[in-house]
Amino acid sequence: MLKTKTNIYMLYFYIFFAQLFFDRALWVIYLGDKGMTFGQIGILEAFLHLAIVLFEVPTGMVADLYGRKTSLVLGNFFSLLYGLFMMISGSFSLFTLAFMSMGLMITFHSGAEQAFAYDTLKNEKREKDYTKVVGSMTALALLSLSVAKFLGGFLAEVSWEWVYGSTIFTHVLAIIPLFFMKEPERDKTEDIGGRWYHQWVHQFKLGTRVWRNNPIIHKPVVLFILASSVLVIITFYGQEYFIQLGYSPVVVGAVFTIEGLLGVVMAKIAYKVEERFKFFNLLYYGLGLYVLFFILFIFASNWAILLSFLFLAQLLSLFEPIFTAFVQNLLTSNVRSTFFSMIGLTESFVIMISFPLFGYAVEKTDFTQGFMGLLIIFFTMVTGFLLLQKFQTDK
């Protein structure tokens, strides 16, 4: 039990420091100050997700084949590169390197933290505590981001060098807890022989087999990917949208700080909600509320726009721990990171295509029309997918 607690506590410390990105509520503003247009900002975000699309599954395999700690150490290295490139960048090409470094960081972290936690608990036969633990992990990540967003506004008032210098410093600190974490025992993928890439192809096939053999996860996975992709667009373009509504960078930072703190509460109570409601009831009612608050975000008055944004974000913060627990229970240890990397790859591909298109659409029209178009596309895709699923079930 002591080993389990030490692992989990060190993982908590790591997550807190690893999420201290002091530019999270301000990077769109920063790029604008550096002369980037909305179209260029959209392309930079697309490069981030291109890196994820290219490397998400291979780096997920690194965590499953070579260890979760190895994956986390490599991810933290690219966090440092991101902070450095952002601090010294003054051109589109250097910003591209920064965003691709961020993308690689995300791929090495994706699934590795959750797999580390699940396998640690599994070794002590405490899998039932996973939703509670991953809720605490999510809460810590959101709390860390909230602190970073709040302090980032004040650091930016001093200089942008303070913003990115502080990011580099905290990610050096994030390396320390990794040395105290013991790699949990896990199921190993069988050695099929041949060259190294034969093993990786085999690992990829194991991930696709999970999808084929578990049709029960199709609806939650697809709906989660669509909803979270849309929220990414709303969140990051919302930075500039709120500025255009007349709010200062400090107020924008405060709004995102509140969003993160509320998310902490949602993540912490997720396991209690999971105990009281059936998973698919949560999925469908949550989807209905998501569409409702999306509509209010577009058509409400200024203060209600902020409130609607906060509610949208909380729905995902509440559902994500429950969603990951639902999927983790269907996986074996040798494919946990690989499968969640496949989910991350699909989500990043959607964002890579839609993020720059939304940026160009806003440049040609305005934010209201851009968000209306996004809502129509989201609603059409969700409705079409659910009808297709119903048709296949009825056959």
Model pLDDT, residue 5: 66
Structure tokens of 373?
């178009």
Between 37 and 1, the more confident residue is 37
Determine the 3-state secondary structure of 149 from DSSP. Answer: helix
Query: 286 Cβ partners below 8 Å, 6+ apart?
Result: 315, 318, 319
**Where is pLDDT greater, at 222 or 186?**
222
Average pLDDT score, the chain = 84
Q: Which amino acid is at 8?
A: I
Amino acid letter for position 193: G
C-beta of residue 350 within 8 angstroms of C-beta of residue 378: no
Condensed to tens digits (0 to 9), the pLDDT of residues 184-221 reads 776 655 554 555 455 556 667 777 888 888 889 999 99
Q: Which two tokens stand for residue 46?
A: 């697309």
pLDDT (tens digit per residue) in 334-362? 777 778 878 887 887 888 788 778 888 88
pLDDT tens across 37-95, in order? 877 887 887 888 788 878 877 777 777 777 888 889 999 999 999 999 999 887 898 99
pLDDT at 110 over 80: no
CA–CA distance, 324 with 53 (Å, rounded to integer): 20
The set of residues, in sequence order, having a beta carbon less than 8 Å from that of 93 and lying 6+ positions away, is none
Give me the mean pLDDT over the 146-165 stretch.
87
Distances (CA, A) of 333 to 148, 180, 337, 358: 33, 22, 8, 38
In 3D space, the residue among 344, 353, 338, 320 whose CA is nearest the CA of residue 104 turns out to be 344
* Whether the predicted pLDDT of 332 surpasses 60: yes
Domains for the chain: give ranges and CATH numbers: 2-179+212-394 (1.20.1250.20)
Please state, in angstroms and rounded to a whole number, the distance separating the CA atoms of residues 216 and 220: 8
Q: What is the mean pLDDT of residues 115-142?
A: 84
Instruction: Give yes or no for a contact between 39 and 363, defined as CB atoms under 8 angstroms apart.
Output: yes
Task: Tell the residue number behind the tokens 């990115």, with chain if given.
Answer: 164
- In the block, tokens 């087999």 appear at 209
- Only one residue has tokens 């601090």, namely 87
**Stretch 293-297: mean pLDDT:** 93
CA-to-CA distance for 178 and 300, rounded, in angstroms?
Answer: 46
Q: How confident is the model at residue 2 (pLDDT cuts 50, 70, 90)?
A: very low
Contact (CB, 8 A) for 95 and 89? yes
- DSSP tag of 246: T
Rounded alpha-carbon distances, angstroms, from residue 385 to 86, 214, 232, 380:
39, 17, 21, 8
107 near 51, Cβ under 8 Å?
yes
What Rg, from alpha-carbon coordinates, does the chain have?
Answer: 20
